[in-house]
């Protein structure tokens, strides 16, 4: 049930500052797409505009059109919470809810959206934790606080929390940047498995990671500080990392810039 | 990469050859303290001005100077400064705790005399100047009811107000609310009492009371609410601002609506801090005398009904007994003061236990 995402002329602002300009890109269902580029080039902004998290900040707005299977998510009568349930998000730093146990964290999305039946919640919790490769590590301490887990486990808990609401698309904003190599590997393995069910878009600063996990890669860049970020090149990951068609992409990937 | 770790760089000239340094023996500090005390006592009693307090103060000064000199001679300047500052900080702590300990000791030692069943289960009704009995039952009832009602009014109002200011308020209106809450913080309690006297007791209460104005515990609760509200709003506001934005975003990203995010994620996270703020407000309100005197009138008899007739409170009881001509009154005042402190302490501990962050346990 993964969905296709199509961005047309997406431009995002923070107040009067234009962060990204005219982004056009299509993400196919059941693929992993990596967004790479130097800091401040708008990859995270673009990612956050896909599930309407961009507008959470005061003064932030998005222009252009973003469709998910031909429904414009910025339509006037679209329910923001429905969009976010369909397009889940994992953040840079693990952010389990500190007042909730591991179990409560996983089912938070369901529970806070009105699901009460214990059997449904239990089943969803186990399924999500198993999908996130965390079940075996936490099954004996589901009642313990989520904040007591290690960083990598917390991030997998957040992934479990995200997929427990069964979204179509999972956005990941540098999900491994706060983690050690072993936890990173665990999460990359997880992305391979999740690809069967979800469309995944990941922002990463780690080019090896982009090359390892993604099917397609989008390279964003800016001319200079203060300019809006633009999409420079979007192609198969193989192509981007072996034979990019843009000079800028090649410079960035080979480490000559950014 | 591993070669970089083992590369030796030439040592800078300022680097000491050894990591060891001379240390004063463990008994040096207590010995200096003892010497300082002896010298101070000799000086003070030798000259014949001042008493034990001056001895301690002088000894503290001598101790600091002696410690600095000794450490400077043996351990060097940096270590001497470190020791002196540590000692200063410790003495600041002692200085801050002294008044507190003194208050508690005074209350306990003076209040002990009337700490009996009679005090807690009788009122001052029909107690004359020559009666050794009489208690604060009516005042305890009054304090509990007035502070309880004031808390019921203030806590929802204050928390909602803080939520508005932090989560929803934009622009001038939110700014105005914050500004007036700040102004309210500075309202003297007598002014809030006068406000309720003029507004509630004189204008509103006659409607319920056959046209005659009436004192009531509820009026006192209103006056206390005015005092509690800014404390609750400001402390809740600060606590809500401390909740990290990624937590809110985490909930939004699960498709949770904003109001539910606030209710189920933000408030529980901020709860321990909010409870502390509320308890501070309660402690302040419980100790107020003037508004209760103005709008509840005080009284010697037990009155359970906060909506009709005079009520007393513990703070007011202390004030009245302390100024009473009866030779038995001061003991009652002390015990009532002790009761008030104990009451606030018990409430605070209970609230903290209830709001323990780690109800989950590790």
ipTM of the prediction: 0.90
Model confidence at A197, pLDDT cuts 50, 70, 90, reads: confident
Mean pLDDT estimate for chain B: 89
Residues of A in contact with B357 (CB under 8 A): 98-99
Task: For residue A107, give the chain B residue with the closest CA.
Answer: B254
Tokens of residue A168, six digits: 């179509």
B244 touches chain A (CB under 8 A): yes
Mean pLDDT of B203-223: 90
Domains within chain A, CATH numbers bracketed: 5-253 (3.40.50.300)
pLDDT of B142 higher than 90 = yes
User: Residues A170-183: what's their mean pLDDT?
Assistant: 87
pLDDT per position as a tens digit, B73-88:
888 888 899 999 999 9
Closest-approach residue (CA) in chain A for B168? A58
For chain B, percent of residues with pLDDT exceeding 70 = 94
Please give the structure tokens belonging to residue A47: 């990612």
Among the listed ranges B14-23, B182-191, B224-233, which one has the minimum average pLDDT value? B14-23
Bridging pattern class, strands A60-68 and A5-14: antiparallel
Alpha-carbon span B346 to A39, nearest angstrom:
54
Report DSSP state, residue A147. Answer: G
Residue B254 CA to residue A157 CA, distance in Å, equals 13
Candidate from B250, B261, B357 with C-beta closest to A95: B250
Residue B100 pLDDT > 50, yes or no? yes
Q: Is the pLDDT of residue B208 over 50?
A: yes
Model pLDDT, residue A2 = 67
**CA terminus-to-terminus distance, chain B:** 40
Token pair belonging to B276: 């502390």
pLDDT digits over B252-276, tens only? 999 999 999 999 999 999 998 999 9
User: Backbone dihedral region of B284: left (phi > 0), alpha (psi from -120 to 50 degrees) or beta?
Assistant: alpha
At B270-297, the pLDDT tens digits run: 998 999 999 999 999 999 999 999 999 8
Per-residue pLDDT at B14: 67
Among the partner residues A86, A109, A144, nearest to B360 by beta-carbon distance? A144
List of chain A residues whose C-beta atoms are within 8 Å of the C-beta of residue B272: none
| pLDDT score, position A34 | 94
User: Which domains does chain B carry?
Assistant: 23-111 (no CATH), 120-354 (1.10.3720.10)
Smallest Cβ distance to B256: which of A83, A93, A109?
Answer: A109
Q: For helices B189-196 and B217-242, what crossing angle results, to 10°?
A: 130
Asked if residue A248 lies in contact with residue A218, where contact means CB atoms within 8 angstroms, the answer is no
- Kindly list the residues from chain A whose CB atom is less than 8 angstroms away from the CB atom of residue B254: 84-85, 88, 108-109, 112-113, 161-162, 165
Query: Do B233 and B181 touch, CB atoms closer than 8 A?
Result: yes
Closest by CA position to B60, among listed B24, B87, B28, B83: B87
The pLDDT value given to residue B11:
57
pLDDT digits (tens, 9 = 90+) for A129-162: 988 889 999 999 999 998 889 988 999 999 999 9
- B346 touches B147 (CB < 8 A): no
B269 and B297 Cβ atoms separated by less than 8 Å: no
Tell me: the pLDDT tens digits for A105-125? 999 999 998 889 999 999 999
Lowest mean pLDDT among A42-46, A237-241, B62-66, B129-133: B129-133
When mean pLDDT is compared over A183-187, A190-194, B318-322, the highest value belongs to B318-322
């Amino acid at each position: 049930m993964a969905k296709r995402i199509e961005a047309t002329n997406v431009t995002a602002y923070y107040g009067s500052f234009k962060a990204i300009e005219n982004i056009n890109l299509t993400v196919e269902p059941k693929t992993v797409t990596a967004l790479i580029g130097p800091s401040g080039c708008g990859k995270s902004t673009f990612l956050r505009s896909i599930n309407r998290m961009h507008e959470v900040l005061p003064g932030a707005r998005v222009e252009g059109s973003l469709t998910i299977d031909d429904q414009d998510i910025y339509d006037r009568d679209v329910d923001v919470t429905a969009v976010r349930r369909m397009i889940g998000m994992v953040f840079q730093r693990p952010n389990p809810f500190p007042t909730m146990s591991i179990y409560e964290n996983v089912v938070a999305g369901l529970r806070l959206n009105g699901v009460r039946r214990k059997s449904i919640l239990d089943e969803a919790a186990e399924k999500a934790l198993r999908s996130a490769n965390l079940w075996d590590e936490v099954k004996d301490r589901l009642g313990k606080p989520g904040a007591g887990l290690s960083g990598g486990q917390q991030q997998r808990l957040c992934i479990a929390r995200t997929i427990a609401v069964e979204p179509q698309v999972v956005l990941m904003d540098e999900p491994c940047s706060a983690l050690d190599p072993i936890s990173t590997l665990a999460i990359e393995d997880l992305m391979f498995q999740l690809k069967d069910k979800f469309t995944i878009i990941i922002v990463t600063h780690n080019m090896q990671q982009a090359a390892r996990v993604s099917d397609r890669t989008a390279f964003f860049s800016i001319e200079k500080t203060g300019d809006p970020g633009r999409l420079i090149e979007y192609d198969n990951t193989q192509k981007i990392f072996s034979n990019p068609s843009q000079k800028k992409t090649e410079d960035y990937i080979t480490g000559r810039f950014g | 990469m591993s070669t970089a770790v083992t590369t030796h760089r030439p040592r800078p000239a300022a680097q000491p050859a050894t990591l060891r340094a001379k240390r004063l023996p463990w008994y040096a500090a207590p010995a200096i303290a003892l010497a300082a005390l002896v010298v101070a006592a000799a000086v003070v009693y030798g000259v014949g001005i001042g008493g034990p307090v001056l001895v301690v103060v002088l000894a503290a000064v001598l101790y600091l100077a002696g410690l600095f000199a000794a450490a400077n001679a043996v351990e060097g300047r940096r270590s001497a400064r470190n020791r002196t500052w540590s000692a200063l900080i410790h003495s600041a702590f002692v200085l801050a705790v002294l008044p507190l300990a003194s208050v508690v000791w005074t209350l306990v030692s003076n209040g002990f005399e009337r700490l009996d069943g009679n005090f807690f289960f009788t009122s001052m009704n029909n107690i004359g100047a020559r009666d050794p009995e009489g208690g604060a039952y009516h005042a305890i009832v009054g304090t509990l009811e007035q502070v309880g009602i004031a808390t019921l009014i203030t806590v929802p109002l204050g928390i909602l107000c803080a939520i508005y200011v932090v989560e929803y308020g934009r622009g001038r209106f939110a700014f105005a609310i914050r500004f007036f809450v700040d102004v309210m913080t500075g309202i003297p309690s007598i002014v809030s009492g006068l406000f309720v006297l003029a507004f509630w007791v004189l204008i509103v209460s006659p409607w319920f009371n056959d046209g005659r104005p009436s004192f009531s515990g509820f009026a006192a609760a209103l006056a206390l609410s005015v005092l509690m509200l800014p404390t609750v709003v400001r402390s809740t506001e600060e606590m809500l601002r401390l909740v990290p934005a990624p937590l809110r975003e985490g909930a939004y990203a699960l498709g949770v609506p904003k109001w539910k995010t606030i209710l189920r994620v933000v408030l529980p996270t901020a709860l321990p801090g909010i409870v502390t703020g509320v308890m501070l407000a309660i402690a302040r309100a419980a100790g107020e005398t003037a508004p209760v005197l103005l709008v509840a009138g005080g009284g010697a008899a037990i009155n359970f009904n906060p909506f009709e007739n005079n009520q007393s409170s513990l703070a007011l009881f202390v004030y009245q007994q302390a100024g009473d001509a009866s030779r038995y009154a001061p003991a009652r005042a002390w015990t009532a003061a002790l009761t008030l402190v104990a009451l606030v302490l018990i409430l605070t501990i209970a609230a903290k236990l209830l709001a323990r962050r780690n109800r989950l346990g590790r």
